[in-house]
Structure formats: C-alpha cells, structure tokens
Amino acid sequence: MFDTLSNLHFLYPQWLWGLIPCFVSGWLLYGRNADRHGWREIIAPHLFHHLKQKSGSSLLLRPAIVMMTILVVALLALAGPSIQREVPEAVDNQSATIILLDNSLSMYSGDISPTRYERARQKIYRFQSLRPGAKNALITYSGSAHTITPLTDDPYFFNLYLDAIEPAMMPAEGMNLAAALEKAESLLPGTKEPVSLLIITDSLKESDINRLVDFRERYKLPVLTLAVGTAKGGDLNLPEEMKLGHTVDTRLPVDEFVSLRNSGIDVIGITSDDEDMQWLDHRMNQTSQRVHNSNSDFQWQNNGLWLVWCLIPLTLLWFRKGWTLFSLLLASSLSLSIVPTTAKADVIDWWLTPDQQGQLAFNYEQYVEAASKFQDLYWQGLSYYRAGLYAQASSAFGQLARNAGASGSVLNMTERMAKASFYEANSLSQMKEWEKALTAYDRALSLNPVFPEAKKNRDAVVYIVKQLEQERQSRNEQQQADAHFTPDDIRINKSQEEGVQVEINENETSISSDSWLKGLQATPLGLMTRRFYREYMEETAADNENTQNLKNREPGKEPSH
C-alpha cells in the first residue's frame, strides 16, 4: 500500500492551480455565513437557539458548497492522478515464476487429502488458471534436483510434464534445496520478465533459511513459500513396491517455517480453498507492477476517469427542491441510461479500445469473445489457441507471419514472431498437418535459437513423422508382397480342414497418428525417470572425481596436467 502511495503523482499538475480560487471562494462563503451569527456574542446562548433563523438545510448541502466540491473533484480529475504505469496489451502484465516443487517421499503423506504431492499439483494447476499468459518454470527436488520445464507460457506443454510427477520417480531420497536453487539460478539469465521464486515444500532445515535469504538478496527477487502439511504429519501412502524399508518423518517443521517468515521470506500454509493461491497471485502482481513502474518505456496510467464517476452522485443533488441550475447538465449525464438497446453495445467503445476489450475477455478466460475483439493478430491467435480453435489460431498466426509484424508491439519483434510461429506450429500439430508444423517450428527456432519448448515439440513431431513413414513403407512392402503372391504359396494344415486360425486385432494392423500422440503423452514419466537417474549418476560421478582429486593433491603442490 505504501509503495502505491509513493508513486502517486499528477500527469497534468497545471490544473491544480485552479484549486486556489476554489478554496478561497469556499472560505469566503463559509466566513460570510459565520458573520450572519455575530449576534451569538451578544445574545445569551439559551435564547440565541430560539431566535436564530432556521435555514432548513445543512450548510454542507447548500448549492454553492456542492458546486465548489464538484469543481475540486473535476480539477483533480483533469490533473490526471496516476499511481502505476499503463502496460500495453501485448506485454504480459504478470511476473514469471520459477516453481521449486518438493518431491521427497514425505509428500506421500495423507494428512493433506488425497496426498501432499497430489494437492500441491492441484494448487499449481489453480495457480496457472489465475495467471493466464504468465510464464512458469518447474524444478523438482528431493535428494537431487532436476529441471522439468524452462520458463514457458504454454500451459499444455507445462502440464504435460506436471501430470507425470510423483516422488517415486526421484533417483535419490532426501531434501536437497541447495541443488534446486542452483537449477533456478541457471534459468535466470536472459529472462526479461520480473521473476519470482515459489517453493512448495513440507520440509525445511535451518541451513536452508540462510540459503533462501542469500538467494533473495543476490538476485533481488521475491521468494515465496507454500508450506504443505500439518504439524502432526500423517501416514505415508506409498506405492506397493516402496512400502518396505522406508521410514520418513512427515511432521511439518513449523518452527523452521516461522523462522523463515521472520527472516523476511513470505510464507503461507496450504488451504482447502483458493485463499493461498489468491494471496500468491496478489504478491506476484505487486512484483510485476513494481518492475513495470520502473520501466520508462511505459506511459503512466491516467486514473482521472474514476474521479469523474464520483461526480455523478454529486450531480444527483440537483434534484433537490430549488436546485435547478444544473438540471440540464444532470439530464445529459443520465442520458446514457436511456440509450436504445441496439446502441448499448457501442457505449463501451467510448471508453475502451477493441484490444482492451479483448484483453478483459481474455483475462476472464472468455477466449472466443476475446478473439472476436482483438485486432492484434498475435493476441487474436492466442485467444483462438486457448479456446481450442486451432484452424482459426493457425490462420491468425500465419497472417501475422506474412505481415512481418504489421500489428506492432512494444515487445522485441523477433521474440514476438518466434512465439507466433511456435503457436502456429502447435495449432498445425493439433490438426495433424505435420509437414507445415515442422516448417513453422523451424521458423520459430531460426528467430529464437534458444527456444526449448519449440525444440522439444519439433522433436516430438519429427518422431511422429518418422513412425508414419515407417508405417507407410511397411504397408507398401506388404502390398508388394501381396502382388507377388501365387496359389502355390498356400500351405494347408493337413490335420484340419481349414488353415491355421490366428486372431487378428483390427487395432494392431495399423498405427494411427492419434495413437502416437497418446503414446507421447504417456511417456513423460518414463522419460523423466530415466533422465533423472542419468543426471544423478553423472553429477555423483563428477562429485566423486572432484573429491578424489582433492585427496590426491599434496599440500603445496599443484596437480599435474
């Protein structure tokens, strides 16, 4: 709140000079009214009350005073009060978030129904829905730490891997927050958005408190923590293959989380409703706005319109008996309420541009309506994409690419066109137009070579295309074999009067592209488990090698090369 007030200023302060004659006139009016009661000093107080003339109305509700109030409010509105920058529609007005998800065995605890890790995953889904268009990255950790996704604003790509996460996939037990922070550091270089760090965990050590404070001070970014669990803990709901040989303390270390909060790190406990996520969203928006307020490329937002609305109840006072001076003005202000029904839809156009109307609909997840409002082709295509109308999305992004950025943006045009090509490729993939999708992915990567989402999606499409090509070749070979098939090739089973019966499943005769897509969606768990194990073994081997080199090094002697 104090940060907001510190940003308060006026865009057109010259209008404030008009307040001087207003205040002087008001003082004169009040003083003249006070002089009328000069007899108060001569007449006894108990008699004065009965002798003075009743005004019949309060001094504050007299026309002159109300007129002065209207002028003051109008002058303040004309002066243009502002407390924040006006961020263009094409810029994500939200901070990016790096999520560190504790994936240790204690997250199998059932004190938070159904389990801690499942509830944490649900909270991340809800967090995304509150922040459409915002970028999120996911790092999971236990005894080791692994990057699941880099910063991305595509929830479908993000959720594809989030759906597969569970503690059983981790190669090492424990709670290594330090390793997770190192992974987070690797994602920070090159990020243009204001970044926040969100830690979702049920464990915390004293040494971790210092690490988090140092991380916040070093990178000057907010660190928020969602504590998952209860002080009493709960029973572990381990998978069948893991129920033997595991003893885990599931009690939430309340004292450590209190110490973390006292050190200046925001901490909130998980709730059964959306209160925790709404609090986090509010904190993220504050971070985003602070960064945008420091960006001189954005204009300050004029909030004078809100003061204009305050004038309406004041003008209603002119309906009082004898207040006819501004009846015409009042009738004009109320004329909006009697606009014909067919014209009411045009009233909003007086106040908001089509892109602003589209942004409002987009924020409320009314994507089809947003697409019909947007004139900006990028946001129009993104709205269609979120609505699942992939043909329209592909058309919008394709037109944007052909126009070579004719719609304009504050964003770097190369980055904008790369993202447009990426979403166009995703839309084409959904329509199974694989070759066109590959072309669009290549275009995105040529504009932004460091685009991990585009590279992963392109690799997936290449895999599908190869499988379809193999299937086509297999069918061609089968057809060629059938063309050379002769009656002499028939073999009869002499023990029966019919050939050997083989049950053939119709679904096994061919592999459709749909089945390949489903197969790809089912593979992240296995792929990530193998990748985690390989990364853990490589890091362990590197640590062991470094330790051995230190042991072999003699004091005062440089290692040989």
Domains and CATH numbers, the chain: 2-83+302-319 (no CATH), 96-293 (3.40.50.410), 351-459 (1.25.40.10)
Q: What is the pLDDT of residue 139?
A: 96
Top mean-pLDDT range of 88-102, 317-331, 416-430: 416-430
List Cα–Cα distances, 193 to 85, 252, 355, 423, in angstroms.
15, 33, 22, 20
Taking only the tens place, the pLDDT of each residue in 432-443 is 898 999 999 999
Residue 395: enclosing H or E segment and its boundaries?
helix 390-403
- DSSP, collapsed to helix, strand or coil, labels residue 253 as coil
Instruction: Return the structure tokens found at 88.
Output: 């263009």
Handedness of CA 223, 224, 228, 230 (dihedral sign): positive
- Mean pLDDT, residues 277-299: 72
- Mean pLDDT, residues 377-402: 90
- Mean pLDDT, residues 494-518: 40
Separation of alpha carbons 54 and 157, rounded Å: 75
pLDDT-derived band at 521 (thresholds 50, 70, 90) equals very low
Q: Please give the distance of CA 173 from its chain centroid, rounded to a whole number.
A: 31
- DSSP, collapsed to helix, strand or coil, labels residue 247 as coil
> Among candidates 99, 275, 283, 329, which has minimal Cα distance to 197?
99
CB 447 within 8 A of CB 414: yes
Beta strand 96-102 with 136-141 is parallel
Separation of alpha carbons 395 and 399, rounded Å: 6
Q: What is the pLDDT of residue 307?
A: 79
CB 136 within 8 A of CB 101: no
Beta strand 85-86 with 299-300 is antiparallel
- DSSP, collapsed to helix, strand or coil, labels residue 32 as helix
Instruction: Return the structure tokens found at 490.
Output: 């028939």
Handedness of CA 492, 496, 500, 501 (dihedral sign): positive
pLDDT over threshold 60, residue 105:
yes
pLDDT-derived band at 299 (thresholds 50, 70, 90) equals low
CB 525 within 8 A of CB 164: yes
User: Up-side HSE of residue 127: CA atoms within 13 Å toward CB?
Assistant: 33
Q: What is the identity of the amino acid at 427?
A: S
Tell which phi-psi region holds residue 388, choosing left (phi > 0), alpha (psi between -120 and 50) or beta. left
Q: What is the pLDDT of residue 469?
A: 82
pTM of the model as a whole: 0.52
Residues with Cβ within 8 Å of residue 402, at least 6 apart in sequence: none
Separation of alpha carbons 420 and 405, rounded Å: 10
Q: What is the pLDDT of residue 385?
A: 92
Beta strand 96-102 with 195-201 is parallel
Comparing 264 with 80, which gets the higher pLDDT?
Answer: 264
> Among candidates 167, 110, 119, 163, which has minimal Cα distance to 141?
167
Comparing 244 with 511, which gets the higher pLDDT?
Answer: 244
| Widest Cα–Cα separation across the chain | 139
pLDDT over threshold 70, residue 409:
no
